Amino acid sequence: MIIAIASGKGGTGKTTVAVNLTLSLDNVQLIDCDVEEPNSNLFLKLELEKVEDVSIQIPVIDEERCTHCGKCSELCQYNALAVLPDKVMVFKELCHGCGLCQMACPRGAITEKDRTIGIIEKAEGEIEFLRGVLNIGEAMSTPLIKRLKKKVNREKTVILDVPPGTACPVIEAISGVDYCLLVTEPTPFGLHDLRLAVELCKELNVKFGVVINRDGMGNRDTENFCNEKGIPILLKIPYDRKIAELYSKGIPFIKEMPEWRKRFGNVFRKIERVETEK
Ligand code: SF4
Ligand code: SF4
């Protein structure tokens, strides 16, 4: 089973939930898909090794063959090509590597070359852990997430730590998972972004439930919203000084507060029940 841990906004405790849930389970693989800020290993402290570079293919123009007809730039959805009277400019940072321009060129003037966008790292131990690390200044996170998801080990329970928000990288990370846990907080900001995340899960036809983190901190609007919409609240993590202190030291709180192991285990069993009812 693949469970995505997502949140409409950053800073809600998504990685905290992903790591604590992972450490509560047996035979588990954790994949940190939050490739711009892959923070899970701040808690896990595993020895990582690079397993591969991840690249996309960008066009190279043969100016000898090119007639500057403009077909390639007309078709490019990402404005990555500009055809001038005597030259074709390639804006490599905008290129998504879709290959359309190469297929469309009537003169065979386009070949491709690799552009590295990031790396994948791995650690084996009590858990199998993988993470993607996007190059600094790089905007193209979706292909890296796509590549990471190819590493899903279906023989294990797979936890995906998804980037925050509801944009393309999140869609890539959530698509095709069995269940999505939406981590939120009981504030107006948390509720606003939870609404967006709920809509996204519905759009992608992914079953979902909610974890309310820092419960007791704000108001009850988030809880009321879930109750009104029939959205299951699978866990509430209180606004608690000890949990906050452990977080600030990079310690997964189930390690020092073992009663939470069972609670996270119960979350997993609830998700399993939803899966078997499908
Ligand atoms: S489609 Fe081919 S020939 Fe036309 S401008 Fe682009 S590279 Fe040049
Ligand atoms: S590969 Fe796709 S995104 Fe990149 S320049 Fe060509 S058409 Fe545009």
The ligand minimizing its distance to the Cα of 93 is 2
Residues 109 and 149 reside in one and the same domain: no
Select from 92, 116, 140 the last residue of a domain.
Answer: 116
Instruction: Please indicate, yes or no, whether residues 17 and 36 belong to a single structural domain of this protein.
Output: yes
Domain of 259? 2-46+125-277
Ligand 1 atom at shortest distance from the alpha carbon of 69? 4
Q: Which ligand is nearest to the CA of 77?
A: 2
- pLDDT digits 0-9 by tens, 135-185: 999 989 999 999 999 999 999 999 999 999 889 999 999 999 999 999 999
**Cα(94) to centroid of ligand 2, in Å?**
8
User: What CATH number did the domain enclosing 176 receive?
Assistant: 3.40.50.300
Q: How many distinct structural domains can be found in the chain? A: 2
Claim to verify: residue 150 and residue 228 sit in the same structural domain? yes
Name residues whose C-beta falls within 8 Å of residue 112's C-beta, 6 or more positions apart in sequence.
57, 58, 59, 60, 99, 102
pTM: 0.91
Residue 115, pLDDT > 80, answer: yes
Contacts 24+ apart (CB under 8 A), 268-276: 268/3, 268/21, 268/24, 268/25, 268/157, 270/209, 270/232, 270/234, 271/1, 271/3, 271/178, 271/179, 271/181, 271/209, 271/234, 272/1, 274/179, 274/207, 274/209, 275/1, 275/178, 275/179
Tell how far the Cα of 95 is from the centroid of ligand 1, in angstroms: 16
Please report whether residue 82 resides in a domain: yes
| Ligand 2 binding residues, C-beta < 6 A | 59, 75-76, 78, 80-81, 95-101
From atom 4 of ligand 1, which residue's Cα is the shortest distance away?
69
The band of 220, judged by pLDDT with boundaries at 50, 70 and 90, is: very high
In a domain, 51, yes or no: no
pLDDT at 235: 97
CATH number of the domain where residue 97 is located: 3.30.70.20
Ligand 1 mean position, distance from CA 101 (Å): 8
Residues 201 and 170 in one domain: yes
Instruction: Clarify whether residues 175 and 209 are in a common domain.
Output: yes
Among 242, 274, 268, 270, CA closest to 257: 242
- Is 176 inside a domain boundary? yes
219 and 267 fall within a common domain? yes
Q: Report which ligand 2 atom has the smallest distance to the Cα of 75.
A: 7
Q: Which region among 5-9, 41-45, 127-131 has the lowest average model confidence (pLDDT)?
A: 5-9
Q: Are strands 81-84 and 87-90 parallel, antiparallel or unpaired?
A: antiparallel
Q: Whose CA is nearest to atom 6 of ligand 2?
A: 101
Domain boundary among 116, 138, 166: 116
Pair 15, 132 in one domain = yes
* Contact present, 264 and 24 (Cβ < 8 Å): yes
Q: Quick one: what percent of the chain has pLDDT higher than 90?
A: 92
Which atom of ligand 1 lies nearest, measured to the CA of 101?
A: 1
Based on the fold, state whether residues 60 and 177 are members of the same structural domain.
no
Q: Is the pLDDT of residue 278 over 70?
A: no
Q: How far does the centroid of ligand 1 lie from the alpha carbon of residue 69, in Å?
A: 5
Same domain assignment for residues 22 and 85: no
